[in-house]
Structure 1
Amino acid sequence: MTTEITSTEELRELLGEPMARAVTKERRVLHELDRQWLAASPFCLIATAGADGTCDVSPKGDPPGFTLVLDDRTIAIPERPGNRRADGFHNILENPHVGLVFLIPGRSDTLRVNGRATLVRDAPFFDRMVVQGHRPQLAVVVDVEQVFYHCAKAFLRSELWRPETWQPDVLPSRPRIVKAVEAPEAALADLERHYGPDYVNTMYS
């Protein structure tokens, strides 16, 4: 039998009230340590939701420091060539609220930023986002409304950063997955060439 939680009161009865520090740690302005974290982070996840409530989470990655701090309340994240679905960008146009999690490899704590986003097609700060000679296609500019650090328990429980637990070959390779569920008509040899060395060499073009 499935027992559903249907009210805030039920949820709080089950989980209890948050510790005072968990509530008061929220800030609206970037601290110097936040700036240092963003300067060291090569990867973030951006969560968005459309006007109808449908959600998307998109990974973004570049060399450490790819997220620019424009001021104490504003950050910018560059967009590079991808699959052109732009699900999260469509959501932002309908609903500007975004949630971001910034990771640093090997660190089990994370930096969370929530705020309102706009899409910018060009700006003077794009010159600071050039990688391998390529300017970003656009940037997600986020007005910070909440910023705080999240505890390490999820990463510790999952043992995410312990190389001895990694099993990258437990599933078929990316080319084989593509052939199985995305492009069954494609030749496996062609897919393996596509996702081979040239895939890495053309990331910014």
Structure 2
Amino acid sequence: MTALDEIGTIASHDELRALLGSPTPRVANKARRTLHEVDRQWLAASPFCLVATADADGNCDVSPKGDPAGFTVVLDERTIAIPERPGNRRADGFHNILDNPHVGLIYLIPGRTDTLRINGRARLVRDAPFFEEMVVKGHRPQFALVVEIDEIFSHCAKAFMRSQLWDPQTWQPDVLPSRAQLAKLTDAADIPLADLERHYGPAYLERLYRP
């Protein structure tokens, strides 16, 4: 017998609902299909979001996206666009979208404990007039993720309050090895640490918007 054999698994929707109870009518019906003015204000203030995707077989990926506040462009009451900047070129989430357009987004504002959630269907756009609104430090995005909104709603603050995420007294940036040391330990064992430290040093910031 393994430890997993002793776990009490929830195996049905009825079991889950019996355990959690039912949401209040306000919570159950709070999802909207179009952007409210306050949603637009949130997007204008947010510098960071998480993009969740899944491939045709259900394998999942979550990717962080960030730029100066307001990086997400509102195209109309049901459509937004997110610029793509140079990265590691894996493009896991984008490959997923080509097979399965459904995406989930969570938008954060530093210091705020509530979040904005958007679920919808995405496509990749090579170029469009709105790219001019996405220029940062003279650089246009490589392409954009355009999302047609299926539902949008505000999410409660409890997870951020429990984690004390924004409380500086809980921050421990040095609890783990540096980014260069982590790379050396995991996926770059053959590269000298000094080279990795140079790669992730000041020059890293200079490459944020360059391919």
> Aligned pair count?
205
SS class of match (1:171): coil
CA distance in 1, matches of 2:61, 2:188: 23
The alpha carbon displacement at 1:24 in A equals: 1.4
1:22-44 alpha-carbon deviations (Å, 9 max, x no partner): 11111000000000000000000
CA distance in 2, matches of 1:22, 1:51: 30
TM-score, with length taken from structure 2? 0.96
CA distance in 2, matches of 1:74, 1:172: 41
Q: Which moved more, 1:76-85 or 1:13-22?
A: 13-22
CA distance in 2, matches of 1:3, 1:137: 47
The alpha carbon displacement at 1:175 in A equals: 0.2
1:49-71 alpha-carbon deviations (Å, 9 max, x no partner): 00010000000000000000000
CA distance in 1, matches of 2:207, 2:182: 21
Give 1:144's match in structure 2, choosing from 126, 144, 149. 149
1:139-185 alpha-carbon deviations (Å, 9 max, x no partner): 00000010000000000000000001100000000000000101101
CA distance in 1, matches of 2:62, 2:177: 23
1:18-57 equivalence runs, <5 A:
18-57=23-62
Q: Percent identity?
A: 70
The alpha carbon displacement at 1:114 in A equals: 0.3
SS class of match (2:31): coil
Determine the structure 2 residue equivalent to 1:104.
Answer: 109
Matched, 1:2 2:2: no
Give 1:198's match in structure 2, choosing from 171, 189, 203. 203
CA distance in 1, matches of 2:22, 2:115: 22
CA distance in 2, matches of 1:85, 1:202: 17
CA distance in 2, matches of 1:89, 1:201: 25
Q: CA RMSD in A?
A: 0.5
Matched, 1:69 2:71: no
CA distance in 2, matches of 1:185, 1:119: 35
Runs of 4+ in structure 1 deviating by more than 4 angstroms, as ranges, are none
1:134-173 equivalence runs, <5 A:
134-173=139-178
CA distance in 2, matches of 1:185, 1:92: 33
The alpha carbon displacement at 1:21 in A equals: 1.1
SS class of match (1:102): strand
Read off the aligned partner of 2:113 and give its amino acid letter: S
CA distance in 1, matches of 2:158, 2:188: 38
1:120-143 alpha-carbon deviations (Å, 9 max, x no partner): 010010011000111000100000
Determine the structure 2 residue equivalent to 1:95.
Answer: 100
CA distance in 1, matches of 2:205, 2:106: 25
CA distance in 2, matches of 1:29, 1:53: 27
* Structure 2, unpaired ranges of 5+: 1-5
CA distance in 1, matches of 2:26, 2:48: 27
The alpha carbon displacement at 1:190 in A equals: 0.7
